Chain A
Amino acid sequence: MQGLRNVSAPEIISARYADARPTLGICIGMQILFSDSDENGLHEGIGIWKSSVRKLEAPILPHMGWNTVQFKKESNLRNEIRPNPRYYFVHSYFVECNKQEDVFCSTDYGKEFVSGFEHDNIFGLQFHPEKSHKYGMELLANFCKI
């Protein structure tokens, strides 16, 4: 959090949130938007959402590689994307997002977890669209049009 404060991240994100300006957090960039995380000790997050980041429960961690998602709501982010997309994941912690209406997509690994969320033009993706070939490129292209 200190590192984020050093670059005024809480102020920047809050201002963007207040103006509903499109903002996309990727991987830990999504996780920092929530209240706290217990990866390597308890750390405070920016806290736009009052949920926590907790360790995945699965036989093998990190969750590393290509996996699929189940889309949970309509979104401009997934306009006209090709069928059966897959995305690159590399993480051990996930967001315990408890607001169903904000869940953009979920993924199964060990159990089902929230792999993307969306609320008022703030987006978060647990996977790496920038490392997911054409599948990721489509999402990023859609984000740029929002």
Chain B
Amino acid sequence: MAIEARIIPVLLLHKDGLYKTKQFNNPKYVGDPVNAVRIFNEKEVDELLILDIDCSKENKEPNYALIEEIVSEAFMPVGYGGGIASLEIAKKIFQLGVEKVIINSALSKNLNLLSEISSIYGAQAVVGCIDYKKSLLGGTKAYFTNASKKSNSTPLEWAKIIEKAGAGEIMLNAVDREGTYQGYDISLLKQIVKAVNIPVVVSGGANVNSDFDDAKQAGASGMAAGSMFIYQRPHNAVLISYPSNYFYN
């Protein structure tokens, strides 16, 4: 068997609780993060990504105690993003038992951080996160820090840059689709998969299980989803779900 694409719940930390946003706005409280991780653990998720959406914006370090509590519940790989501003911070995160750090904001100032971390922990431990959206003028661009700072690069250009800089994986996050259930941005995904030789995890817009098939077909190594696994529709009541063993049945 070849390696299987991963279906990855993404959990957002805000004020140390579990929240869900839509297009990076209006964070809604959905519960206790440790409890949510426990449920996802029981559902045997392929991998879990935890993103603290306050750290970079407020220029603060990760909540190490909370991350440690979360990781101790997880019998699956965990990636963490939010406030990874230096090698020292990344080291502390790895010591808690996290497999990968996800970096976005810091790359606006210091691309070398990717290779600094990957030279010690290996490229597999470093994920470069591309948050992209349409800008008012000038097409689609990669953004930093909760999509508040625009870069000069398109997501495709930025993907090549961060691969070269030492990222071992790319998280491709469509800001405009987040929480909207309109499906993944398959056309950009295809372009990026073609342009790089590292795994690409697509994120933003997951709606139904067939979206995972489409993304896998397009070459994604992983498919991330938040709302789809946290909410039950039509009224977005909080109810955690996950298609366990989706690609293994």
CB of A133 closer than 8 Å to a CB of B: yes
B75, B122, B197: the one within 8 Å of A131 (CB): B75
- Give the interface segment out of A4-12, A17-25, A58-66, A98-106: A58-66
Complex interface: chain B residues within 8 A of A1 (CB): none
Among A87-123, those with CB < 8 Å from B are 88-92, 108-109
A25 to chain B, nearest CB (A): 16
Q: Which residue of chain A has the shortest Cβ distance to B5 in the bound complex?
A: A65
A92–B3 touching, CB < 8 Å: no
CB of A78 closer than 8 Å to a CB of B: no
Q: Which residue of chain A has the shortest Cβ distance to B193 in the bound complex?
A: A60
CB of B243 closer than 8 Å to a CB of A: no
Q: Given A131-B99, A136-B75, verify A66-B123 contact (CB < 8 Å).
A: no
Complex interface: chain B residues within 8 A of A2 (CB): none
CB of A38 closer than 8 Å to a CB of B: no
> How long is the Cα–Cα vector from A123 to B248 in the complex, in angstroms?
28
A130–B75 touching, CB < 8 Å: yes
B75–A67 touching, CB < 8 Å: no
A102 to chain B, nearest CB (A): 24
A88–B198 touching, CB < 8 Å: no
B51-93 CB mask vs A (1 if < 8 Å, else 0) is 0000000000000000000000011110000000000000000
A65–B169 touching, CB < 8 Å: no
A62–B168 touching, CB < 8 Å: yes
> How long is the Cα–Cα vector from A91 to B124 in the complex, in angstroms?
6
Q: Which residue of chain A has the shortest Cβ distance to B42 in the bound complex?
A: A133
CB of B213 closer than 8 Å to a CB of A: no
B1–A92 touching, CB < 8 Å: no
CB of A54 closer than 8 Å to a CB of B: no
Complex interface: chain B residues within 8 A of A39 (CB): 122
> How long is the Cα–Cα vector from A133 to B74 in the complex, in angstroms?
9
Q: Given A62-B122, A62-B169, verify A89-B3 contact (CB < 8 Å).
A: yes
B77–A128 touching, CB < 8 Å: yes
Q: Given A90-B99, A131-B76, verify A65-B197 contact (CB < 8 Å).
A: no
CB of B104 closer than 8 Å to a CB of A: no
A28, A68, A91, A131: the one within 8 Å of B77 (CB): A131
Complex interface: chain B residues within 8 A of A68 (CB): 1
A92, A109, A128: the one within 8 Å of B123 (CB): A92
CB of B44 closer than 8 Å to a CB of A: yes
Complex interface: chain A residues within 8 A of B44 (CB): 133-134
CB of B105 closer than 8 Å to a CB of A: no
Query: Which 10 pairs of residues, A with B, have the shortest CB-CB distance?
Result: A62-B124, A90-B124, A133-B44, A131-B77, A67-B3, A65-B3, A68-B1, A65-B6, A62-B168, A40-B119
Please report A residues at the B interface, Cβ cutoff 8 Å: 28, 39-40, 59-68, 86, 88-92, 108-109, 128, 130-134, 136-137
- Apart from A88-B47, A92-B123, 18 more pairs, CB < 8 Å: A60-B197, A61-B123, A62-B123, A62-B124, A63-B3, A64-B3, A64-B124, A65-B221, A66-B3, A66-B46, A67-B2, A67-B4, A92-B122, A108-B1, A109-B3, A128-B99, A132-B76, A136-B75
Please name 10 pairs of A and B residues whose Cβ atoms are closer than 8 Å in the assembled complex, sorted by A: A40-B119, A62-B198, A62-B199, A65-B5, A66-B3, A90-B99, A90-B125, A109-B2, A131-B77, A132-B75
